[in-house]
Amino acid sequence: MNDTYFVTGALGCIGAWVCKHLVERGDRPVVFDVGGDPRRIRDVLGTEGLAKIQFVTGDITDGDATKRAVAACKPRAIIHLAGLQVPFCRQDPALGARVNVLGTIHVFEAALAAGVARICYASSAAVFGPSEDDGTAVPESGSLLPVTHYGVYKQANEGTARIYWLEKKLSSVGLRPLTVYGVGRDQGLTSGPTTAMKAAVLGLPFQIGFSGPTDFHYVADTAAAFVACADGGPAGALLYNLHGDTVDVGEVVRAIEAECPAVKGRITFGGPRIPIPPLLDGSAIAQAYPSLPHTPLVAGIRATIARFRELHTQGRLDRRDLPAS
């Protein structure tokens, strides 16, 4: 393919997998991230993969810098993932708004200025609130009553995207994942299941901090959806839910124990349910993009644990998300 894609927040979990997806098919990701540590990309792609990626250190709260970086690489499309997750927005709502809301406007402005025709950006299932949970799958048109600042900011971004379509004819797709899991998922409200997989590889006890069901989406599938929606689709400001496997967190614990029998009984869970309806209706994106992969939960957990084992054997398993022992 040999196309350039501008990927904001690509030093994060989903971004690392987007980079892997693009590199493996011969495209060039330009990583635009305020952070400086490429460890997630290295863990996902290996050291040799890093050489195929261009890194630009930059902050989406700086509109001019974002514009300059997009103009310099003239990408085919922008995949916008940079953002602060629920706990960080809760800690500092003003910073959360600057990064998640203002930063998103800067990314859209940068696309317009550089003539980029398409943006695929990370919204979130957090735009829905628990009031939407009546046991049925929530469609895109479910009512938006978020119960976190983060969810409100994502809701604002969906409105921003709609206005850029109405006023400037800039096409976008917003994707709403819920609980993404896999290598690189080491922060945020729903990162516990992935950290539990890491703890299990190390033979350590770990408590996942929530209970109940949620919608688990394997990160390679999440990345594939972002790339497919950046590549093409109908013009407009589209929005899609991402649905993977909706199961109780206890089922994830059992799958981890099946892969790592030595930790049986030491991976636990407890705490409140995630305040987002656990079952998303993913039929709209499946219809629009019928070739998107769906990795079954057990296979995703197995692949994650296998990669953590490799990294552990190489002495490179990052432990920062594990409690200090």
Q: Which of 190, 214, 241, 246 binds ligand NAD (CB under 6 A)?
A: 190
Stretch in the footprint of ligand NAD (CB under 6 A) among 76-84, 138-146, 271-279, 306-314: 76-84
Rounded Cα distance between 37 and 149, Å, is: 27
Between 34 and 112, name the residue whose CB sits nearer to ligand NAD.
34
Q: Which of 177, 275, 278, 282 binds ligand NAD (CB under 6 A)?
A: 177
Shortest distance, CB of residue 264 to ligand NAD, whole angstroms? 27
Rounded Cα distance between 295 and 299, Å, is: 6
Task: Sort strands 179-181 and 213-218 into parallel, antiparallel or unpaired.
Answer: parallel
| Residues numbered 155-174 forming contacts with ligand NAD, rule: CB under 6 A | none
The phi, psi pair for 261, rounded to 5°, reads -60, -25
Stretch in the footprint of ligand NAD (CB under 6 A) among 54-62, 165-173, 267-275, 279-287: 54-62
Rounded Cα distance between 250 and 265, Å, is: 11
| Residues numbered 4-43 forming contacts with ligand NAD, rule: CB under 6 A | 8-9, 11-15, 33-35
Here the tokens at position 215 are 């919608």
Residue appearing with tokens 């993977």: 244
Q: Which of 85, 104, 195, 304 binds ligand NAD (CB under 6 A)?
A: 85
Q: Which of 103, 174, 244, 278 binds ligand NAD (CB under 6 A)?
A: 103
Q: Does 61 bind ligand NAD (CB under 6 A)?
A: yes
Q: Does 81 bind ligand NAD (CB under 6 A)?
A: yes
Of the CA atoms within 13 Å of residue 20, those in its CB half-sphere come to: 24
Q: Which of 104, 160, 179, 194 binds ligand NAD (CB under 6 A)?
A: 179
Q: Does 59 bind ligand NAD (CB under 6 A)?
A: yes
Shortest distance, CB of residue 139 to ligand NAD, whole angstroms? 17
> Do residues 277 and 318 make contact, with C-beta atoms less than 8 angstroms apart?
no
Between 89 and 114, name the residue whose CB sits nearer to ligand NAD.
89
What would the DSSP string read from start to end of 139-179? Answer: PTTS----SSHHHHHHHHHHHHHHHHHHHH--EEEEEE-SE
Q: Does 274 bind ligand NAD (CB under 6 A)?
A: no
Q: Which of 104, 124, 195, 241 binds ligand NAD (CB under 6 A)?
A: 124
Residue 294, CA distances (Å) to 113, 216, 220, 245, 279 in order:
36, 11, 9, 9, 15
Closest CA to 41 of 23, 57, 26, 20: 20
Shortest distance, CB of residue 35 to ligand NAD, whole angstroms? 3
Residue type, 147: V
Rounded Cα distance between 256 and 308, Å, is: 12
Shortest distance, CB of residue 266 to ligand NAD, whole angstroms? 24
- Chain positions contacting ligand NAD, by CB under 6 A: 8-9, 11-15, 33-35, 59-61, 81-85, 99, 103, 122, 124, 177, 179-180, 185, 187-188, 190
